Structure 1
């Protein structure tokens, strides 16, 4: 579904060029849930922007469904850290916003919107305004808004990081259920090892800047998965420990580089 071939990104800074990503090579299968983790500033969000077509790579190419990504695509949806709902529009009208943007007939998608709101437990709130909802409910609306366009790929940039711990866990479990039901290809950026293990089929671990693909870690744990006690607790602990070790080793190496410069 997604092929990332030798992708790099360098930004122009005031004090010179800043290399964000270097030589990323990765293939993401149809219906796969890939989590991306790494230190702050390692280029995780930059990678999502290049997959979405919002940012052109300095080098390399990104292909989605066999087509080179040159600009934003209708079959690729983004979900950001903040819901960014329009405050004057109801829940239902926020969900239907992409339908209007793409010039589709609203009547053709109204039933789909109702189904998505039912799927995420928001049926009774469809006429409410965003300020009447909790943060978790607002992010559910944002998720429905992304799904209304029937995307082949959904890119999620730390969508739960601004929420309290309990709401974050609830939405992660909800997202897992939706993915199992719809089979959409998802690339999910997170700082949380726990979220990555709960949600992903594989985890791409990026090194510190410039971000490089340090390792791809398989998550061979049967679904559905939970944060609590379950039959696969030992597997969860083993994979979590591997990811933690990779990130911690990277941090130690970076500290050693800084120390050697001094």
Structure 2
């Protein structure tokens, strides 16, 4: 579904150039959930913006469904750290905003909005305004807004990082359930090792800037996953420890992708 081929990104400013991403290559399969982790400033968000078509690579290409990405696509949706809801619009109207932007018939998308509201537990809040919702509920609305257009790809840039720990875990479990139901290809940037393990089919570990794929770690843990007491707790702990070691180590040599089990 997504092919990242030799992508690099260098930002030029008055004080000089900053190389954010260097020679990143990745294949992300149809319906795969890939999480991207790495230290602050390693280019995680930059990589996401290039996939979204919001930023042109300095070198290399990004393709979605076999087409090179040059501008934003209607079949690629993005969810940011802040919900960025329009404060004067109701929950339902915020969810239907992309339908109006693209000039689609609102009536045709109402059944999907109903389904998404039900799926995320927001049915009883459809007429509420954003300021009447908790932070976690606002992010649920943002998620529904991204899903209303039935995207092939959903890009998520630390969407739960501003929330408290319990709400983060609750939404991560919810997102996992939605992904299992809809099968959308998801690329999810996070600083949280727990989120990465809970959500991902694979985790891409980026090196310090300039960001390179240091390791691709497969997560062969059956779904659904939780961090409570369950039969796979040892596997969760093992993979989490491996990712923690990779992030802590101080290896700055160019890294080639490796699969880990």
TM-score (norm 2): 0.96
Alignment map for 1:115-126 (pairs within 5 Å):
115-126=115-126
Query: 1:15 Cα shift?
Result: 1.3
2:96 maps to 96
Partner of 2:188: 188
Quote the residue 2:259 is aligned against: none
Q: How does 1:132-211 map to 2 (within 5 A)?
A: 132-211=132-211
In the alignment, is residue 35 of structure 1 matched against residue 35 of structure 2?
yes
Partner of 1:34: helix, strand, or coil? strand
Structure 1: tracts of 5 or more residues without a match: 255-262
Give the SS at the match of 2:249: helix
Higher normalized helix content (fraction of residues): 1
Q: Secondary structure at the match of 2:70?
A: coil
Partner of 2:257: none
**CA contact under 8 A between 2:208 and 2:252: conserved in structure 1?**
no
Per-residue Cα deviation, 1:21-76 (whole angstroms, up to 9, x for no partner): 00000000000000000000000000000000000000000000000000000000
Alpha carbons 2:207, 2:252 under 8 Å: kept: no
1:246 lines up with 2:246 in the alignment: yes
- Per the alignment, residue 76 of structure 2 pairs with 76
Name segments (4+ residues, structure 1) moved above 6 Å. Answer: none
Partner Cα separation in structure 2 for residue 111 and residue 66 of structure 1: 30
Q: Give the superposition deviation at 1:100.
A: 0.3
Long gaps (5+) in structure 2 = 254-261
Deviation at 1:219, TM superposition (A): 0.2
Structure 2 counterparts to residues 37-76 of structure 1, below 5 A = 37-76=37-76
Return the offset for 1:253. 5.8
In structure 1, the residue corresponding to 2:127 is in which secondary structure? coil
| Equivalent-residue separation in structure 2 for 1:93 and 1:238 (angstroms) | 44
- Shift of residue 111, structure 1, vs aligned partner: 1.2
Task: Please tell me whether the aligned partners of residues 227 and 233 of structure 2 are also in contact (alpha carbons under 8 angstroms).
Answer: no
Per-residue Cα deviation, 1:198-241 (whole angstroms, up to 9, x for no partner):
00000000000000000000000000000111101111111001
How many pairs were matched up? 253
SS in 2 for 1:56: coil
CA distance in 2, matches of 1:23, 1:76: 23
How big is each residue's C-alpha offset from its partner over 1:71-130, in whole Å with a ceiling of 9 and x where there is no partner? 000000000000000000000000000000000000000111011001000000000000
CA distance in 2, matches of 1:190, 1:53: 20
